[in-house]
Amino acid sequence: MEKKPPFVRREFPPREASSISLALLLAAVLLLNAFLYLYLNKFYVTSGRAETDPGLCPFGYFKFGTVKNCSPWLSCEAINREVRKLKCVGEGAVKKVFLSEWKENKVVLSQLTNSELKEDFLHGLKMLRALQSKYVVRLLGYCEQQFTILTEYHPLGSLRGLNETLHIPKYKGMNTWHRRLKLAMDYVSVIRYLHSSPLGTFVMCDSNDLDKVLSQYLLTSDFHILVNDLDALPLVNRSAGRLVKCGHRELQGEFVAPEQRWPYGEEVPFEDDLMPPYDEKTDIWKIPDVTNFFLGHVEGSDIVRLHLFDIHAACKKRDPSERPSAQEVLDTYRKVLTLLIREAALPGTREML
């Protein structure tokens, strides 16, 4: 009987073992990239940030909360009959805002307070109607004769209370660099939408300081951002040579763009007729300051700022034509988010490769 040769355990030479380890590492990196692609694609598509939103009703209709079917915007008669005011929750130069109730749903009722500003109020209503989308607070009804607007209620309120909200125990898990960066991306997405809306290029004029900017946006319960106040939204029409001016008073401070400041020095008194108009790139100038607020001072936020340094420096170019578009800023933010999530998942990848 022939003897079987003794079993010999094969040893991989060092180079072959190293090649296998590298191949496994590269495979892991490829799988991670695929996961990141699917994750970010899901984030932009299913979370309400996609270019199309299947949850939206046809123009002139709405649904929200316990309302499952699309209903037509409420008329003057319906608002007077079915909406009940609960309490005043805010008041600005143009309107007073009431927390209200409609069919067991919390809603917001806004009413004109200064008749001299009715044109601003009606312009805001016109914009709210025309720009209904996932970027804009949901319109539920209006009454032009009574200068009344009904919109969806968001209990977390405006972005001015963001830091306080993130310190509430329920939301502390949201207080991370990546969640804060996503909020900044939502903000830039709104700016991009206003700059490339179906009606043309609009400039967000109620933005002379950070607090004023934050007051124009709402934080939703699922931590997204909606623009809420469109009273000061002039249209840029380059083909017709039409630029804009944000109001008729002198604007000052580093927050507003250089082209929004009086260009003729202190020796020449401000005169609105002599003030040159400008375009939507004033919104781009303000993005770094608003994003800096969003990022806050959580762990990792300084690393995000470092990665955004170049695009933010471009936003602060004194020549408006040299600043990037909102789309370019958003693209950069997306790349940075992808890069940092990848590095967080495989912190030693760069050194190993």
3-state DSSP assignment of residue 261: strand
pLDDT per residue, tens digit, the chain (353 aa), is 555 555 455 554 555 556 666 656 656 655 655 555 455 544 444 333 444 454 578 999 999 877 778 999 999 999 999 999 999 998 888 999 999 999 989 999 999 999 899 999 999 999 999 999 999 999 999 999 999 999 999 999 999 999 999 999 999 999 999 999 999 999 999 999 999 999 999 999 999 999 999 999 999 999 999 999 999 999 999 888 899 999 999 999 999 999 999 999 999 999 999 999 999 999 999 999 999 999 999 999 999 999 999 999 999 999 999 999 999 999 999 999 999 999 887 765 444 43
Q: What is the dihedral of CA 154, 157, 158, 161, to 10 degrees?
A: -150
DSSP E strands in 46-182: the ranges are 61-62, 71-72, 83-91, 95-102, 105-112, 139-143, 148-152
β partners of residue 96: 91, 111
Single-letter residue type at 244: V
Mind listing the domains of the chain with CATH numbers?
71-152 (3.30.200.20), 157-344 (1.10.510.10)
pTM of the model: 0.83
Q: Tokens standing for 134?
A: 């996932």
Where is 226: in which H helix or E strand? strand 225-227
Instruction: Give, in degrees to the nearest 5, the angle at Cα 220 between 325 and 149.
Output: 90
| CA dihedral over 318, 235, 124, 271, signed as positive or negative | positive
